[in-house]
A = this chain, B = another copy of it.
Amino acid sequence: MPNQDDLLPIGLEDALPQRAAAITRTMRAVLDAMDAHGFDRVRPPLIEFEHSLAGRMEGVHTRRMARFTDPESLRTLALRSDMTPQIGRIAATSLSAAPRPLRLCYAGEIAVLRADQLDPARQRLQMGAELIGSDSVAAAIEMVMLAIDTLKAAGIADVSVDFTLPDLVDTLAQQALPLDAGQRDAVRRELDMKDAGELAEVGGQAYLPLLYATGPFDDAIEKLSAIDAGGALASRISGLRAIAAAVGDSARVTLDPSERHGFEYQSWFGFTLYAGGARGVAGRGGSYAIRGSDEAATGFSLYMDPLLEALGTASEALRQTLFLPLDHDHAAASRLRAIGWRTVAAIGEGDDAVALGCTHRLSGSETIAL
Residues on A close to B: CB < 8 A?
1-2, 4, 7-17, 19-21, 23-24, 28, 31, 35-38, 40-49, 52, 66-68, 70-73, 75, 77, 79, 86, 89-90, 92-96, 99, 101, 103-104, 108-109, 111, 113-114, 122-123, 131, 134, 136, 138-139, 142, 293, 321, 326, 337, 341-345, 347-348, 351-352, 355-356
Partner of A41 from B12, B21, B49, B77 at Cβ < 8 Å: B21
Most B C-beta atoms less than 10 A away, residue of A19, A23, A46, A92: A46
Q: Sorted from nearest, which 9 A-B pairs have the closest CB atoms? A: A38-B344, A17-B40, A15-B43, A138-B347, A12-B45, A99-B355, A20-B41, A36-B337, A20-B43
A66, B47: Cβ atoms closer than 8 Å: yes
Cβ–Cβ < 8 Å partners of A12 in chain B: 45-48
- In the complex, A2 Cα to B51 Cα: how many Å? 13
A14, B79: Cβ atoms closer than 8 Å: no
B47, A14: Cβ atoms closer than 8 Å: no
A13 and chain B: residue at smallest CB distance: B45
- In the complex, A35 Cα to B35 Cα: how many Å? 24
Given known A-B contacts A47-B9, A49-B9, A93-B4, A38 and B342 have beta carbons under 8 A apart: yes
Given known A-B contacts A1-B96, A7-B89, A99-B352, A345 and B43 have beta carbons under 8 A apart: no
A350 and chain B: residue at smallest CB distance: B100
A14, B45: Cβ atoms closer than 8 Å: yes
Partner of A17 from B42, B75, B337 at Cβ < 8 Å: B42
B356, A48: Cβ atoms closer than 8 Å: no
Partner of A20 from B40, B93, B101, B138 at Cβ < 8 Å: B40
- In the complex, A138 Cα to B351 Cα: how many Å? 12
Cβ–Cβ < 8 Å partners of A108 in chain B: 109
Cβ–Cβ < 8 Å partners of A28 in chain B: 28
Partner of A8 from B11, B45, B321, B337 at Cβ < 8 Å: B45
A103 and chain B: residue at smallest CB distance: B344
Cβ–Cβ < 8 Å partners of A49 in chain B: 7-9
A43, B66: Cβ atoms closer than 8 Å: no
